[in-house]
Amino acid sequence: MKNSFFRFILVVTVVSLTFSCNNSKDAKSNEIQVNDSLQRALTEKTNLDKIANTPGIAGVFDVPEMLTICKMDSAPMKNVSFKVAKNYSVLETEMNEVGAELDGMPGMLTYNNDTANFIFECVLPIKTFPKKQPKTCKIVVLEACPMLIHNFYGPYNHLFNAYDAIRKYIAANKLQQSGPMREFYLSDPTVEKDPAKWQTRIMVPVIKVK
């Protein structure tokens, strides 16, 4: 993984983490056609590689467990970019030290919307459990669960459009967010120079509201 890509993720952090699925008012349910895919997600296992990369909401999928090396941290929003840069650098170093092999693109979990003390977790997917534990990071299996998946294409300062679409879908389908949101940055901007083609996969764990 290129260090230049980790540096570029700072742009994502500053822009995208300012917005959240929990910050805006829910849209009226008639603004979007209801497509209840939660029941399907509960009965089917999904290979992430088979999820369509078409723009917009792909649906609700039963996302399998994901083995990762993670580093959790918190900071005032103004300091988050510095912390993220430091954490990805540590993750890459310790992943190499324990002999783990990268198995996907970098991601981030977000736990709150508090600009005074924003809690986040930088993650790198890995292929197998390493034979030894990293010094400061943790080996974590992200749990399997039904997740609403949205494929966003475009510059990171437009991610708020994706969050707005997610809020509308959740309201229309009578869903509720049930855990931390995950973002994975599937395009490497050091390779793909056109911001309109940068893909961010947003994954929101959901349950049906009774």
Secondary element (H or E) of residue 141: strand 138-142
| Number of domains the chain is built from | 1
Q: Are 111 and 182 in contact (CB under 8 A)?
A: no
Residues of the chain with pLDDT under 70: 1-50
Q: Are 124 and 92 in contact (CB under 8 A)?
A: yes
pLDDT digits (tens, 9 = 90+) for 94-126: 999 999 999 999 999 999 989 999 999 999 999
Radius of gyration of the chain from its Cα atoms, rounded to whole angstroms:
17
What is the extent of the structural domain holding 184?
Answer: 3-208
The dihedral through the CA atoms of 37, 40, 42, 45 has a sign that is negative
Write the CA distances from 39 to 62, 64, 97, 191, integer angstroms.
Answer: 10, 16, 42, 38
SS (H, E, C) 72-108: EEEECHHHHHHHHHHHHHHHHHHHHHCCCCECCCCEE
What CATH number is attached to the domain comprising 118? 3.20.80.10
Q: Are 113 and 22 in contact (CB under 8 A)?
A: yes
Q: Are 38 and 60 in contact (CB under 8 A)?
A: yes
Question: Maximum CA pair distance of the chain?
Answer: 52
**Residue-level pLDDT at 35:** 45
The reported pTM is 0.78
Q: Using CA atoms, how far apart are residues 101 and 99, in angstroms rounded to an integer? A: 7
Coil, strand or helix at 134: coil
Q: Using CA atoms, how far apart are residues 106 and 96, in angstroms rounded to an integer? A: 15
Secondary element (H or E) of residue 39: helix 38-43
**Residue-level pLDDT at 31:** 38
Q: Using CA atoms, how far apart are residues 56 and 50, in angstroms rounded to an integer? A: 16
